[in-house]
């Protein structure tokens, strides 16, 4: 049984990914901030809780060491889904909060990837899936921090894809558009509209005719963790219902 570490597992996409990987037979380590208790979910999924603030590299290193010690195995799969939800107009966005988004979303992905890499090398390979977003490719008004962080994740994915592939570690990313998670509520509040109004607005621009569920994006993440797909390296999977198309 392989060990999969999922960050941001306390809600939204992270929870859906943890459930999906557990259903696929992986031993899941569920990470979230220490103040967001995931013990009950970990027990339900037959996994373990792995609390740590991913914006703190020292805490991340200790958390990874603890997971590997408790499971008796190196981490084979990393899904970096932790995200600090914050939106606001550029001129009014609090600087500390702006950097908190960067530190959690981008810095957290970097710290976790760096911490699990030695174990993956020792076991002969692994899979990393970083969670980007459509705004990291297009930008979004009122979401400069998120857009900057997710653009960084896109670049990090491509860079690590090239650097770690010779070590047997495949690094890819999923870049969804709007997902029906608590983040939608935060975006709506920042835009001064109701969640239903924002949901309708976003639905109108999706060729598929609706926005994605966390479970659908989790399925895309699970696809990228499959070790039977060794040539998927440094790819950004646009799981967005057709709002943005890839170009070669």
Residue 241 pLDDT: 72
Q: What is the predicted pLDDT for the residue at 66?
A: 98
Residue 169: half-sphere exposure toward Cβ, Cα within 13 Å: 26
pLDDT at 193: 75
Average pLDDT for 172-180: 86
pLDDT tens digits, 6-15: 999 998 999 9
Cβ atoms of residues 222 and 116 within 8 Å: no
Helical pair 195-204 and 182-191, crossing angle rounded to 10 deg? 100
Query: Which residues have a Cβ under 8 Å from the Cβ of 198 and sit 6 or more positions away?
Result: 184, 187, 188, 191
pLDDT at residue number 248: 38
pLDDT of residue 204: 74
Mean pLDDT (whole number) for 227-236: 93
Is-contact 22 96, C-beta < 8 A? no
pLDDT of residue 246: 56
Asked whether residue 186 carries a pLDDT value surpassing 80, the answer given is: no
Q: Topology of 3-237 in CATH? A: Rossmann fold (3.40.50)
Angstrom distance (rounded) from CA 76 to CA 92: 41
* Partners of 232 in the β-ladder: none
Say yes or no to pLDDT of 185 above 80: no
Closest-CA residue to 101 (of 140, 65, 63, 129): 140
Nearest in space to 219 (alpha carbons), one of 45, 79, 35: 79
Model confidence, pTM: 0.91
Residue 173: is its pLDDT beyond 60? Answer: yes
Read off the tokens for 28. 């899941």
**Band of residue 179 on the pLDDT scale cut at 50, 70, 90:** confident
Q: H or E element: which one contains 161?
A: helix 144-164
Mean pLDDT of the chain: 90
Q: Percent of the chain, pLDDT > 90? A: 65
Q: Does residue 97 have a pLDDT over 60?
A: yes
Averaged over 228-242, what is the pLDDT?
88
Average pLDDT over residues 24-41: 96
Each residue of 88-110: b (16+ CB within 10 Å) or e? Answer: beeeebeeeebebbbbbbbbbbb
Residue 144 confidence class, pLDDT cut points 50, 70, 90: confident
Q: Is the pLDDT assigned to residue 86 strictly greater than 70?
A: yes
Q: What confidence tens digit (pLDDT) does each residue in 60-83 have? A: 999 999 999 999 999 999 999 999
Write the pLDDT tens digit of every residue in 190-226: 667 776 777 777 777 778 777 788 999 999 999 999 9
Q: What is the percent of the chain where pLDDT is above 70?
A: 93
What angle (nearest 5°) sits at the alpha carbon of residue 13, between those of residues 61 and 63?
15
Say if residues 136 and 174 touch (Cβ distance below 8 Å): no
């Amino acid at each position: 049984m392989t060990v999969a570490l999922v960050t941001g597992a306390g809600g939204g996409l992270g929870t859906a990914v943890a459930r999906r990987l557990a259903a696929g037979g992986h031993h899941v380590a569920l990470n979230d901030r220490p103040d967001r208790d995931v013990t009950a979910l970990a027990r339900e999924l037959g996994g373990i809780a792995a609390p740590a603030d991913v914006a703190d590299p020292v805490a991340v290193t200790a958390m990874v060491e603890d997971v590997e010690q408790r499971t008796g195995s190196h981490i084979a799969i990393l899904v970096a889904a932790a995200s600090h939800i914050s939106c606001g107009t550029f001129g009014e966005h609090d600087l500390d909060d702006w950097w908190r988004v960067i530190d959690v979303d981008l810095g957290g992905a970097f710290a976790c990837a760096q911490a699990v890499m030695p174990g993956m090398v020792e076991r002969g390979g692994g899979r990393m899936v970083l969670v980007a977003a459509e705004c990291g490719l297009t930008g979004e008004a009122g979401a400069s921090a998120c857009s900057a962080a997710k653009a960084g994740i896109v670049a990090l994915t491509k860079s690590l894809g090239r650097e770690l592939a010779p070590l047997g570690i495949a690094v890819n990313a999923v870049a969804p558009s709007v997902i029906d998670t608590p983040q939608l509520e935060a975006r709506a509040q920042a835009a001064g509209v109701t969640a239903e109004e924002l949901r309708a607005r976003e639905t109108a621009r999706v060729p598929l005719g609706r926005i994605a569920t966390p479970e659908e994006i989790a399925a895309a993440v699970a696809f990228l963790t499959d070790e039977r797909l060794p040539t998927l390296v440094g790819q950004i999977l646009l799981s967005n219902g057709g709002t943005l198309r890839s170009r070669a």
